[in-house]
Amino acid sequence: PHDENLALRYLAAALVEAGHVPHVLGLSGPDELGPVAEAVLDSGAPLVGFSIPDADIAVDALAFVRLLRTRGYRGHITCGGALATLVRGEILAKHPGFDSVGRHDGEVPIVELARRVALGQGAEGLPGVTTRAGEGLPAPVTSETPMRLRPLRPDPLPRILGVPVARMLASRGCPGRCPYCGPAALQRSAVHEGLQGGADRTALARIGGGGTRRRTARDVADEVAELYHARGARLFHLLDDNLLSGDPEAATTWLRELSSHLRSQRVGRTAWSLQTDPLILTEETADALLSLGAIRVLLGVEALTEEGLRALGRKGDPAAS
C-alpha cells in the first residue's frame, strides 16, 4: 500500500517525453476501487492503462475495469505487465472491458497507443499491442528507449525511517530459465518477437535480448548522482530481478566501477538494497558490495540439494547456497 510502482513511472516518463500528461493513480486494495474509478472519470482521460504483473494484482485489475465500465467510462482501456503479456488472449476473450494489451516493455507501445487515441484512431496493428483484431506488428524489443529513460519520480521522494529513497533499475531480465518463473517465459517470447521484427539471434544476444539487458555502471552512477545532489536521495533500492548473476569477477568489476563513478561525481555516503544470486558471492564481491554501501542483499536460495535444483530447472552448486 502507498508504494510507488516503478514500472508505471517509466511509462509515465515516456509519455511526458512525447508531450502527453500522464496521471499515476495507486490502487492498494478493494476498498479503493470506487474512489480511484471516480478519479479516472473526473480526469476525463481518454486512455487508461493498468499494470498486471502477477495473479495477485489481476483480481483487483479485473474488478476495477468492470466497475469503471459500469460507471460509464467509454475511453480506451489497456493493460500490460508480465502476466498480461503472457495471458493477453485470455484477457481479451473473457474480459470485454479491455480494448488492448501491451506486450513486453511498454515505453514505446504506450506512446504510440496514446497518439492513436488522441487522434481518435483504433489501436489495431500497433507494434507490441494486441487487440481483438490480432497481435499487430512485433513488439519493439530491441528499442533502446526503455534503457535510456529515467522514471518520472514522485515529489517529494518516498521515505523509509525518514530517509529519502529512490527505487531504480540497472537491468531488465534474468539469464535464468527456471520453469516456474514468468520472466523466463517472457524472455522466450521476446526472442520470438525480435526475430519476427527482423533482428537476428546474434544481434539479440548482443543487446541482452531474451536474457539480461544491462545499463553501464557509469549510466547508473549518473542517475544516482542526480538523485543524490538534486533530490536528497540516500537509500537506493535496486529492483532488478537478478542484477549480479553469472560471473563473480564481472559482478565485482561492475560494483567497483559503480563506486568509482560515484566518487568522481562527489556522491557521499549512501545505502543500497539489491537482490543477487548466491553463486556470485565471493569474498571479493562481498567486499565490493560493502564498499558500495549495501545494507541488505536478498539471496535467491530455492533449494539446498542437487535434486531440488533440478526439479526447479536451476543450475549451480547447492553448496554455494
pLDDT at 246: 73
Question: How far from chain centre, in Å, is Cα 18?
Answer: 20
pLDDT at 95 over 90: yes
User: Which residues share a beta bridge with 220?
Assistant: none
Nearest Cα neighbor of 309 from 157, 141, 176, 184 is 176
Q: What 3-state DSSP class applies to 92? A: helix
Q: What is the pLDDT of residues 304-313, one digit of tens each?
A: 999 998 888 8
pLDDT at 22 over 70: yes
Nearest Cα neighbor of 242 from 312, 190, 296, 170 is 170
Helical spans, DSSP H, in 149-282: 182-196, 201-207, 217-231, 248-264
pLDDT at 315 over 80: no
At residue 96 the predicted structure's pLDDT band, cuts being 50, 70 and 90, is very high
Count of all residues that appear for the chain in the document: 321
Contact 30, 44 (CB under 8 A): no
pLDDT at 1: 54
Residue 109 cell numbers, joined: 507501445
Which helix (H) or strand (E) element contains residue 308?
Answer: helix 306-311
More confidently predicted of 51 and 211: 51
Residue 31 contacts by C-beta under 8 Å, 6 or more apart in sequence?
Answer: none
d(CA 196, CA 207): 16
pLDDT at 182 over 80: no
Please write down the long-range contacts of 258-265, taking CB distance under 8 Å and 24 or more positions apart: 258/217, 258/220, 258/221, 258/292, 259/288, 259/291, 259/292, 260/217, 261/217, 261/218, 261/220, 261/221, 261/222, 262/221, 262/224, 262/225, 264/221, 265/221, 265/222, 265/225
pLDDT at 245 over 90: no
More confidently predicted of 290 and 179: 290
Q: How far is CA 24 from CA 36, 231, 235, 295, in A?
A: 11, 20, 23, 30
pLDDT at 153: 93
144 — phi, psi (to 5°)?
Answer: -85, -5
Contact 232, 268 (CB under 8 A): no
At residue 247 the predicted structure's pLDDT band, cuts being 50, 70 and 90, is confident
Q: DSSP letters along 62-91, please? A: HHHHHHHHHTT--SEEEEESHHHHHTHHHH
pLDDT at 250 over 60: yes
pLDDT at 2: 57
User: Which residues share a beta bridge with 130?
Assistant: 101
Mean of the per-residue pLDDT values of the chain: 92
pLDDT at 321: 80
d(CA 149, CA 29): 29
d(CA 267, CA 261): 9
Residue 163 cell numbers, joined: 530517509
pLDDT at 4 over 80: no
Average pLDDT over residues 123-152: 95
pLDDT at 181 over 90: no
Contact 49, 11 (CB under 8 A): yes
